[in-house]
Chain A
Amino acid sequence: MNSDRYQRHSLIDWFSQEAVKASKFAIVGCGAVGNEVAKNLALLGVGYIDLYDFDSIEIHNLTRSVLFRGKDIGGFKAEVAAERIKELDPNISVSAFVGDFWEEMSLEKAASYSCIICCVDNFEARIRLNQICLITKTNLINTGIDSRFCQVEVFPFKASDCIACYECNLPNSAYERMQQRYSCGWLKKISFIEKKIPTTIVTSSLTGALAASNALEMLKEVEVAASKRILVDSFSGKSTVSIIEESCTCPGCSSLSGNVSVLKGAALIQGVFNLPSGCSDDYVITSDPILISTRCTNCNPLLESATIVFDKASKYDSSINICTQCGQESVEVVIKDSFSLSDLEKLFQGREFPCKYVTLNASNQILVIELER
Chain B
Amino acid sequence: MPDIHVIIRTADQTRKAEVTLDSSNTGADIIQASVDNWTLPTDTDYSLVNTTSGKTLTPNSQLGDSGIKDGDILEVQPVLVAG
- Contact-residue size bin, chain A (C-beta under 8 Å from the other chain): 35 or more
> What is the chain A residue whose CB lies nearest that of B75?
A240
Query: A246–B57 Cα gap in the complex (Å)?
Result: 9
Interface residues of B in 30-53 (CB under 8 A from A): 31, 43-47, 49-51
12 other A-B residue contacts (CB within 8 Å) besides A33-B83, A146-B80, A199-B82: A144-B81, A164-B56, A169-B47, A171-B45, A171-B79, A172-B59, A172-B60, A238-B13, A242-B49, A242-B51, A245-B57, A245-B61
Query: A151–B44 Cα gap in the complex (Å)?
Result: 14
CB neighbours (8 Å) of A76 from chain B are none
Q: How far is the CB of B25 from chain A (nearest CB, A)?
A: 15
A168 interface neighbour in B12, B45, B58, B79, Cβ under 8 Å: B58
Q: Number of residue pairs across A and B with beta carbons under 8 Å?
A: 103
> What is the chain A residue whose CB lies nearest that of B32?
A173
A149 with B78, Cβ < 8 A, contacts A171-B31, A173-B45, A242-B56 known: yes
CB neighbours (8 Å) of B51 from chain A are 240, 242
Is A192 an interface residue, CB under 8 A from the partner? Answer: no
8 contacts between A and B (CB under 8 A): A31-B83, A32-B82, A121-B83, A169-B58, A170-B59, A171-B45, A233-B11, A241-B54
CB neighbours (8 Å) of A177 from chain B are 45
Is A243 an interface residue, CB under 8 A from the partner? Answer: yes
CB neighbours (8 Å) of B45 from chain A are 171, 173-174, 177
Is A339 an interface residue, CB under 8 A from the partner? Answer: no
B59 interface neighbour in A29, A149, A171, A197, Cβ under 8 Å: A171
Query: A29–B83 Cα gap in the complex (Å)?
Result: 7
User: Are the CB atoms of B81 and A123 closer together than 8 Å?
Assistant: yes
**5 tightest A-B CB contacts, nearest first:** A144-B80, A197-B82, A247-B58, A121-B83, A151-B80
Q: How far is the CB of B50 from chain A (nearest CB, A)?
A: 8
